[in-house]
Each structure stands twice: as structure tokens, then as C-alpha cells.
Amino acid sequence: MKLTSLYLVALFTLVACDGPTRIRPSAVTGNNVVVPTTTAGATTTVSTSGGTTLVATTTGSSTGSTTGTTNGTVTAGFESCNTTADKFHAGIGNISICQSSSNELHFRMGFTVTDQTDGTCLVPLYKDTAGNSVYLGSAQCTKHNASQISYGYLQKTRSGYTGYPVNGVMVIKYSGTSAFFQCMQAYDINYNSCKVSTCQAAYGNNASLYAQCMNSLITSCDTNAKTYMANVCTAFKNSYPYIDIRTK
């Protein structure tokens, strides 16, 4: 798999976003369902749209501590959490993120603002030593109140990537999930379309010439796809709040 410095997931330094089959540099992370911890009487509803799960608190007020405790008890695996809400974006607010020491898919989120309208999402990421990132699953979202602590499990559901460790998350709002995944998938979609559309019409009935055509377009289609990806990812970066986090 080719590694590139072209950013994907969290584009703080986004030059371009590699396609889903590539690894790109990241600026924020996330993935899987984060189920809110609520007070007595609170209920939740779950709706699914476009592969994104939204867990919404519908009644009651949610509370939590900034020490990672629930009813005075620290949840196993989170005993060493830094619970300071030191991750920030103006469109998201201050949040804290902690990954369980015993299960890479188990996460704790602490919120300082209320959002019962849009919701906040996590997308699981793998980050390499150069800072490149690749997403490992779909976004998992929750509506929340200020001071709420939520625990939940992410899922590694992306075909071909289940063997990668989760060592980062992208935090985005529910309204930005479609644009985020369009960025993540922009390279592959454009690259494959470039080669197939050109070669199919001319050599679709000749397997040998078709293969030669596909190989001859690797460089040009790669260049075109990177340009397209850069435009799509820049549009996401400029339009939606996000926080790219390395968890370990």
C-alpha cells in the first residue's frame, strides 16, 4: 500500500486527501457508535443514514464528571485517562477523548457544550509514524449535553483494513460526515474512473490492449485524482469543523 504525505482524515495541513485505499496525513480522528451515559429517565433513539449511526438523547438531562467516573466508579480501562477537555474547535467546543487501555475500540468522550440538534461523531483512524492516516470504519455519532460523559465502542468495518490498529480518531459533526467521506474516497473514485472510462471505450473487447491502456494511464490518472482529491478535501476543510486526534 502506498503511503503518501497527502492528508486525508484531518486535513490541518491538508495538501490533498488520498483515496480510501491509501494512507494520508491526518489532522483529526474517529469511528463507531458512542453511546451516551445519561441520568435516570433519559432515553435514546438510534437512526441510521448513509452508514452513519446517530445516537440521540431525547429526554432527561445528561450529566457526567471530568474525572472519568460513573456513579463514583472509574470504568475499567480508563483509570489513567487525561480527562481535561483540551481538544478544541470553535464549531465543536472543548472535548476530552480517551481510548481504553484494554480495548482499542472502547472510547470515553467528555463534552463541555450541549448539542441536541446536530450531534458529534467519531471516525476510527490508523496513523503511521509519518502522520499519515486512513479511516477504519464509519462515523458513530451522539447528541449530548454540556458536562456529559459518553462511553462507547467503535467498529473496524472497512474491508481490507480490519488488521490495522486504532490509534487515532476524527471528531466531526454529523452534518459534516458526508463531506468527510467524500474527501476520504475522492482519490480512488476519480483514479479508477479515469482509467476505466478511457480504456473501456477503446479497448473493452481486447483484454491485452485494455491492460496496456490501464497501465499507461497510471501517472496521468494519479495526477488528476490528486488534484480532484485536493479540491474535495479543501471544500470539506473550509466548510465543516473537525478535530484530528492521535490517541496513542
pLDDT one-digit tens code per residue, 75-134: 899 999 999 999 999 999 999 999 999 999 999 999 999 999 999 999 999 999 887 889
Residue 166 in this model has a pLDDT that exceeds 90 = yes
pLDDT one-digit tens code per residue, 168-177: 999 999 999 9
DSSP labels for 23-51? BEE-S--B-SEEEEP--TT--EEEEEETT
Residue 14 in this model has a pLDDT that exceeds 80 = no
Question: Which residue type is seen at 56?
Answer: A
Q: Which residues neighbour 128 within 8 Å (Cβ) at sequence distance 6 or greater?
A: 3, 23
Helix/strand/coil (H/E/C) assignment for every residue in 75-127? CCCCCCCCCCCCEEECCCEEEEEEECCCCCCEEEEEECCCEEEEEEEEEEEEE
Task: Say what the pLDDT of residue 118 is.
Answer: 95
Q: Provide the 8-state DSSP code for 3.
A: B
What is the rounded distance in angstroms from the CA atom of residue 3 to the CA atom of residue 6?
A: 9
What is the rounded distance in angstroms from the CA atom of residue 104 to the CA atom of residue 195?
A: 38
Q: What is the residue extent of each domain of the chain?
A: 24-177+240-246
**Among 61-70, 158-167, 202-211, 223-232, where is mean pLDDT lowest?**
61-70
Q: How confident is the model at residue 205 (pLDDT cuts 50, 70, 90)?
A: confident
What's the mean pLDDT in 136-163? 93
Q: How many CA atoms does the CB half-sphere of 56 hold within 13 Å?
A: 13
User: Which of 1, 22, 24 has its CA nearest to residue 13?
Assistant: 24
> Considering the chain, what percentage of its residues have pLDDT values greater than 70?
71
User: Which of 133, 174, 204 has its CA nearest to residue 48?
Assistant: 174
Residue 240 and residue 178 in contact, taking contact as beta carbons nearer than 8 Å = no
